[in-house]
Every structure is written in C-alpha cells, then in structure tokens.
A and B are shown apart, each in its own frame.
Chain A
Amino acid sequence: MEKTLKPEDSLSVIAEMVSKTKRNLQEGSFYYLMWGWLALGAAGVEYFLLTYMKSDWHPIVWPVMGVLGGIASAVYSRKAHARQGHTSFIESAMKIVWMAFGAMMVLAILMGATQNWSLAYVLIIALYGMGTFISGGILKFRPLIYGGVACWIISAVCILWSSEFLHFPTMLIMLMISLAVGYLIPGYALKNSEAKNNAA
C-alpha cells in the first residue's frame, strides 16, 4: 500500500530517517588499536634485533607487520560491513585517506632502504600524524587531531635535534612514543566514545 503524506508528515519522515543514518556510527577504534599495538610490537622487535642481536635484518618486521595488519583489517572490515548493512560517507573518505597513507608508507620504506633509514622514520612519524590528523578532522574527534599534531612535533624534534635523536636505535624509541600518542591514546579515547554513543 502506498501511503501519501501531508507536507508536515514528509518533514517528520525525513527527520526520522536522517537521525537513523547519523546514529549508525562506525566502529573505527579497532583499526587504531590494532595497528597501534601491531606497529608498537614491530618497533619493539626491531629494537631487540638491532640492539641485542645486532642483526642487519631488523627492517623485516615492517613488511611482516603490513601483511598481518592488512589481513586483519580486511577481515574485520568485511565483517563490520556485513553487520552494519551500509557504507557511510565517512567510511569511504577514511578508506581513501588510509590508501594514500599506505602508498606514502611504501615510498618512505623505499627511501629508507635506498637512502637513509633514520630520515625515513622521521617521514613515517609525520605520515602517522597526517593520517591521524585527517581522520580526526573527518570524524570530528579532537583526541585524534591532537595525536596527529603530537606526531608532527615528535618528527620536528627529531629533525631539529638530529644529533640527539636522528640515529638508531633512538629513532625506534621516538617511533614508539609517536605510536602511543598518535594511535593508542586516541584509539582508546575513540573506543570509550563509541561505547558511550552505543549506550545512549
């Protein structure tokens, strides 16, 4: 049956449906926490390989981390989409941001492998900052914006005080700090915010 509407009924139908699309907040904290802990683990293993094992194979942790994280993200994203039943504009925008981040990471790793690993890490920290800052802007979530700015400050500190910070294994410690402030702290804040939104 087709139910025709009065103008005021139309407006209330539109308002009700708009509120339903707004209520379906995406669950983004999983990605920050998963990638944050995975990268922190990878940096820790690299620090161990470099400091205690004196291995030249220390950068191997990053491709391994990329493959593991990529598989976990793809599986989670597929399940989340099936559960949600729709794709929001925010998710589409975030996908493009993180695809650009992935491409820049590959370039940074190429730069590290062919030129200078310490400088590549400065760029990687700045890239973490860029991804987090843009995501924070899209989601209108301040802790992510602050996390992104913190990563840029850490990156600038490494460049400006290069004699203190721009060498291994100190760079790995700086990377671990940037992962904590850029991913993990905002990731847990986002998780709390999602829990509150879902409870409301």
Chain B
Amino acid sequence: MLPDLDPLLHTQLRLQIVTLLAGVEDADFNWLLENTGATRGNLSVQINKLKDAEYLTVEKGFKNNYPLTTCKITKKGREAFEKYVAAITKYIKHQQK
C-alpha cells in the first residue's frame, strides 16, 4: 500500500520553500522570493501555513532600517520533508512497475 502524501508539502510553493530551507541553515524572505519565483503575498501566506504547522520558525527583525524576515526549518519540518521524499520515491517506483 502506498503511503499518504503530506498535504502541507504536496503543493508546489510549499514544497519549494521547505526544500530550499532544508538545504541551508537559515534564509531571508527575499532569498526565498528570488528562488521560488512566487509573489510576495502568496509566499507570505504559504510561509505562515508552514509556520502554523511548526515546519518553520519565522523571525522578524530589522537590518539597516529595513524589515527582515528570517526563516528556518524545524526538526518537525525536516522529518516531514524526509518522509515526503521517501513517499514520493515509493510512488514513482510503483508507477514504473
């Protein structure tokens, strides 16, 4: 039987965000914006959903008088991402049979 896919990660933008954050220590909002190609509003909404699920931590601060939002993946988020990758791999293998 195939495993369920985490609905929080099974959308393009949230998967992009979590994959990017899994590869770095932390990242700011503009870096995520640049690398995902999303709009500010949509990125902000999806980050908040991931934050509410405790997949990310979000720190808001200031740098040189400009607002700075820094995101970091949590242990729970990393585990969910690893589980998602394992599940997707199973799906692909199943399709190839």
A85-B30, A88-B25 are known contacts. Are A17 and B35 too (CB-CB below 8 A)? yes
Binding site for A on B (CB under 8 A): 10-16, 19-20, 23-28, 30-31, 34-35, 42, 46, 63-64, 84-85, 88, 91-92, 95
A10-B88, A11-B92, A14-B85 are known contacts. Are A3 and B12 too (CB-CB below 8 A)? yes
Segment touching B, from A18-26, A52-60, A109-117: A18-26
Bound: A21/B12 CA distance, A: 17
Q: Which residue of chain A lies nearest to B23 when distances are taken between CB atoms in the complex?
A: A21
Report the minimum CB–CB distance from B21 to chain A (whole Å).
9
Report the minimum CB–CB distance from B15 to chain A (whole Å).
5
Bound: A4/B95 CA distance, A: 18
Q: Please, which residues of chain B bring their CB within 8 A of the CB of A161?
A: none
A17-B35, A87-B25 are known contacts. Are A2 and B20 too (CB-CB below 8 A)? no
Contact status B12-A87, CB under 8 Å: no
Q: Please, which residues of chain A bring their CB within 8 A of the CB of B20?
A: 17, 20-21
Binding site for B on A (CB under 8 A): 1-5, 7-11, 13-14, 17-18, 20-22, 82, 84-89, 91-92
Q: Which residue of chain B lies nearest to A86 when distances are taken between CB atoms in the complex?
A: B27
Q: Which residue of chain B lies nearest to A8 when distances are taken between CB atoms in the complex?
A: B92
10 A-B pairs, CB-CB below 8 angstroms?
A3-B13, A8-B92, A10-B10, A11-B92, A13-B15, A17-B15, A86-B26, A87-B25, A89-B24, A92-B25
A18, A22, A87, A89: most-surrounded residue (chain B CB, <10 A):
A87
Contact status B28-A85, CB under 8 Å: yes
Report the minimum CB–CB distance from B6 to chain A (whole Å).
11
Pick the residue among A5, A7, A85 that contacts B34 (CB under 8 A): A85
A5, A9, A18: most-surrounded residue (chain B CB, <10 A):
A5
Q: Please, which residues of chain B bring their CB within 8 A of the CB of A84?
A: 31
Contact status B30-A7, CB under 8 Å: no
Bound: A17/B35 CA distance, A: 8
Q: Give me the 10 closest cross-chain CB pairs, A-B, nearest first.
A: A85-B31, A21-B23, A86-B27, A17-B19, A7-B91, A87-B25, A3-B12, A2-B11, A86-B24, A85-B28
Contact status B23-A7, CB under 8 Å: no
